[in-house]
Chains A and B, each alone.
Chain A
Amino acid sequence: MPAKAAERHRQGQSGPSGGKAVPPRPAKAVSKKRDEDVSTEAGEGVDEWAAAKTLVKPPDQLELTEAELKEEFTRILTANNPHAPQNIVRYSFKERAYKPISYVDQMAIHFSLNGNMILKDSDEGRRQSIKLSAAAKKAPVETFAVTSEEAEIKGEESTENTQPAGEEEAERSGTAEVAEAAEVEEPPPPSVKEQKLANQFNFIERASRTLNNPMRERACQSEPTPCKNFSATANQWKIYDAYVEELQKMERSKEKEKPKAQIAKREEEKKKGRKLTSLESQSDDINKISKAAKIMERMVNQNTFDDIAQDFKYFEDASDEYRDQQGTLLPLWKFQYDKTKRLAVTAISWNPKYKDLFAVGYGSYDFMKQGQGMLLLYTMKNPSFPEYVFSSESGIMCLDFHNDHPYLVAVGFYDGNVAIYNLKKATYQPSYKSSAKSGKHTEPVWQVKWQKDDMDNNLNFFSVSSDGRIVSWTLVKNELVHTDVIKLSVEGTTMQGPEGLQLQMLGCGTSFDFHKKIDYLFLVGTEEGRIYKAHVFDLNINKYEALCTQLVVAKKKNKITHIQFNPVYPVVIIGDERGHVISLKLSPNLHRMPKEKKGQEVKKGPEVEIAKLEKLLNLVREPESKAGK
């Protein structure tokens, strides 16, 4: 019945709509037929079918012939997708041709909707279920954890207990409890992790910022280290200098390491040294140039007296060949000094060490005119100015250089004093001087001569004077100590003094000389013309005439007072009364000796000389003895 109603409804509908479309008619007719078969009510069907017979033709209906109208059209219902393509072609590389695909996908999707249902057993599903359970069971979880621990312990205990009982039971309980424990264990850790999950729907992020302290930059710059540009060349001699300095430093440090006993001394010395250096630095810097100035002066003089210097060095008088045994003297330099113009040269001596240095003593032979004395030391290298100048109160009568200490000069004065000058020291005063107390002579000292150091290594020298005494002076502890060696007495001159004393007239010694080898043997020459052969302890008297040698010299207005030969150079210096000193060069004849080429009077074989002297003595003695008789 409901089907019937449906049919009617359909018809009703189709009535008005029947006029619209024809194609549904045949379909309707088919369905109608079915309905007819099915339904038992044919009467109504007939009505409907009859009603349908009266066709309503739409205006645009296709006009067809009867035959065409009866034509059967077959329609097949398939499950194919009418929109699916039927001729898809694919290129086959194997056959190198396009081939149609045999099967084309016929699925047509009419409708799709994405759902949000998750499979329960999948990962996502399980997770979500856990979440849900966890959210619900948040509070009791902690206690659950404790209990779970207890359960675990219990479980363990139970497992231990049940172990001896039975394996299977234990296993079961163990596994059950393990499972429990596992289950219990699982929720707490995830819950702990998941606590901080943010609310996904109602979440507001709030942030706040702390106050940032304002940054302040503070810089400090130190002063740049002072830089200095330095450049030098490394020469071989600079390296050498550096090494030498290093060596000296080491030596100085070694000295400092010496025993403490000497430290005090050294400190004093150092202090003195320091004082000296400070003084020097304070004083005029020009003093530092003294060495250079000296050299320069000598050079200037050399230039000025160039010809003389050349003569001195190289000139040999050729005319000497024609003069047999006689020679000439070539004048060289002249040495003079302002302050000695009025004084006479009283003594000359060459320095034993420096062959160009000689000392000149100035004084006066005149009894009436006694004034000051001077001691000058000249060098042949500088003829215009003396190297050393010493002045004294009394005229100098004699001087002598010490052989071993060429800086010591012994000097005898007119007033009977003796003194020692030390050239190394910068003072103008003598280092040591005798005085009336210390036993000076009462008459002028005519000759002084150095002796070898005595047994205590003290310097000593002898002096002879008109007062008849020969005195030996010894330098003991910075003082001159005198010892009368001999008193010269003249024979046959004893006189009766006023009070019955026997006065011995003393002879006046004028010169003496020592034996070169025998220390204590010396000859003394006296004013009376005698020569005494003196032993330190006794005296032998030999009669002899005063010995003196004279050399042929050009006549001068002044009297020549002294003459000295230079031991090395063929030069003779002559001092005169006017205070001049002249140097002369000996011509070859004069300084050519059979054995030596040097000046006379020096260093000859003693035997030869003795022989010569004997000859001379014989010559002189005989006539005297004859005369004496």
Chain B
Amino acid sequence: AEVEETLKRIQAHKGVAATIVINAEGIPIRTTLDNSTTVQYAGLLHQLTMKARSTVRDIDPQNDLTFLRIRSKKHEIMVAPDKEYLLIVIQNPCE
């Protein structure tokens, strides 16, 4: 469907290293990485997203987390939370 195409485009985009989709419980559904790395990323980022969301909402309950970006030396991890899913993309910003 359309969403599939979007995900494919993202994966094919310049610099994108990996794409992971995990469900509400932290179990990866879709991934372009190997299993162990995926599981690691899924677990850690799930927790971090929960914490971030909790932080945002604690400050103002009417607010909600829309996007989370972690920029590190080597690459950038982007997390887009949804009601039931979490979309994670790891990109190497081209500079």
Cβ-defined contact, A299 with B80, below 8 A: yes
Q: Does B58 contact A (CB under 8 A)?
A: yes
Inter-chain contact B82/A300, CB cutoff 8 Å: no
**Quick check: A287 and B3 within 8 Å, CB to CB?**
yes
Interface residues of A in 289-330 (CB under 8 A from B): 289-297, 299-301, 303-304, 306
Whether A240 and B62, one on each chain, are in contact in the complex, defined by CB atoms closer than 8 angstroms, is yes
Proximity bits, B43-61, A CB within 8 Å = 1, else 0:
0000000000010011001
Question: How far is A92 from B78 in the complex, measured between Cα atoms in Å?
Answer: 117
Residue of A nearest to B3 (CB): A290
Residues from chain B with a CB closer than 8 A to the CB of A235 are: 54, 57-58
CB-based contact B80/A296 at 8 Å: yes
Interface of A is mostly: helix
Q: What residue in chain A is nearest B75 (Cβ atoms)? A: A303
Q: Across the interface, do B89 and A236 meet the contact criterion of CB distance under 8 Å?
A: no
Q: How far is the CB of A138 from chain B (nearest CB, A)?
A: 97
A293–B86 Cα distance when bound, in Å, is 10
Judged by a CB distance under 8 angstroms, whether B85 is at the interface is yes
- Contact flag A284-B67 (CB < 8 Å), given A296-B78, A296-B80, A300-B10: no
Q: What count of chain A residues pass the 8 Å CB interface test?
A: 29
Task: Collect the chain A residues with CB atoms within 8 Å of residue B84's CB.
Answer: 288
Report whether A296 and B10 are in contact in the complex, using a CB–CB cutoff of 8 Å.
yes
Tell whether A384 is near chain B: CB-to-CB under 8 Å.
Answer: yes
Contacts of B2 in A (CB 8 A): 287, 290
Could you tell me the distance between the alpha carbons of A4 and B21 in the complex, rounded to whole angstroms? 156
Select from chain B the residue with minimum beta-carbon distance to A291.
B82
Within the complex, which residue of A236, A286, A300 is in contact with B3, where a contact is CB–CB below 8 Å?
A286
A295–B66 touching, CB < 8 Å? yes
Cβ 8 A contact of A237, one of B3, B13, B21, B58: B58
Complex Cα–Cα for A240 and B78 (A)? 28
Cβ 8 A contact of A287, one of B1, B76, B80, B81? B1
Bound CA–CA A447/B30 (angstroms) = 47
Q: A235-B57, A240-B61, A303-B93 are in contact. Are A293 and B10 (CB under 8 A)?
A: yes
CB pair A292 B61 closer than 8 Å: no
In the bound complex, CA of A25 to CA of B80 (Å):
152
Task: State which size class the interface on B falls in.
Answer: 35 or more
Q: Are B89 and A304 in contact (CB under 8 A)?
A: no
Within 8 Å CB of B21, what residues of A?
A: 286, 289
- Assess whether A432 is interfacial by the CB under 8 Å rule: no
Q: B74 at the A/B interface (Cβ < 8 Å)? A: no
Cα-based distance from A290 to B4 in the complex (angstroms): 9
Partner of A297, one of B9, B85, B86: B9
Q: B28 to chain A: closest CB distance in Å?
A: 13
CB distance from A325 to the nearest CB of B (A): 37
| Chain A 332-349 interface residues, beta-carbon cutoff 8 Å to B | none
* Bound complex: CA A472 to CA B29 (Å): 53
Task: List residues of chain A with CB within 8 A of the CB of B3.
Answer: 286-287, 289-290, 293
User: Which of A241, A286, A303, A385 sits near B9, CB closer than 8 Å?
Assistant: A385
Contact partner of A304 among B1, B54, B94, CB < 8 A? B94
A306, closest chain B residue (CB) = B93
Chain A residues with Cβ under 8 A from B61's Cβ?
236-237, 239-241
> Nearest CB to that of B82 among chain A residues?
A292
| Residue in contact with A384 in the complex, picked from B13, B66, B85, B86, CB distance below 8 Å | B13
Is A284 a contact partner of B82 (Cβ separation < 8 A)?
A: no
Closest to B11 in A: A300
Contact check, A293 vs B80: say whether CB atoms are below 8 A apart. Answer: yes
Q: Verify B62–A295 contact, CB threshold 8 A.
A: no
Chain A residues with Cβ below 8 Å from B89 are 296, 299-300
A291: which B residues are within 8 A, CB to CB? Answer: 82
How far is it, in angstroms, between the C-alpha of A288 and the C-alpha of B29 when the chains are bound?
13
The reply on B38 being an interface residue by CB < 8 A is no
Greatest chain B CB density within 10 A among A236, A283, A293 is at: A293
Chain A residues within 8 Å of B35, by CB: none
Which A residues lie within 8 Å of B33 (CB)?
none
Chain B contacts of A303 at CB under 8 A?
15, 76, 78, 91, 93
Given contacts A286-B3, A297-B6, contact A304 B15 (CB under 8 A): yes
Q: Contact at B87–A293, with CB atoms within 8 Å?
A: yes
From B1, B16, B57, B58, A284 is in contact (CB under 8 Å) with B1
Query: Residues of A contacting B7 with CB < 8 Å?
Result: 286, 293
Contact A288–B82 (Cβ < 8 Å): yes
B residues with a Cβ closer than 8 A to A are: 1-4, 6-7, 9-10, 13-16, 21, 29-30, 54, 57-58, 61-62, 66-67, 69, 76, 78, 80-87, 89, 91, 93-95
Please name the 4 residue pairs, one residue from A and one from B, whose CB atoms are nearest each other, closest first: A237-B57, A240-B61, A292-B80, A237-B61
A-B contacts, 30 of them at CB < 8 A, read A236-B57, A237-B58, A239-B61, A283-B1, A285-B29, A286-B3, A287-B1, A288-B83, A289-B3, A289-B85, A290-B2, A290-B6, A292-B81, A292-B86, A292-B87, A293-B7, A293-B87, A295-B80, A296-B78, A296-B89, A297-B9, A297-B13, A300-B10, A300-B16, A303-B76, A304-B91, A306-B95, A384-B13, A385-B6, A385-B9
| Contacts from A to B (Cβ < 8 Å) | 235-237, 239-241, 283-297, 299-301, 303-304, 306, 384-385
Add 12 more A-B contacts to A292-B81, A296-B87 (CB < 8 A). A235-B54, A236-B61, A237-B57, A286-B29, A288-B85, A289-B82, A292-B86, A293-B3, A299-B80, A300-B10, A300-B78, A304-B15
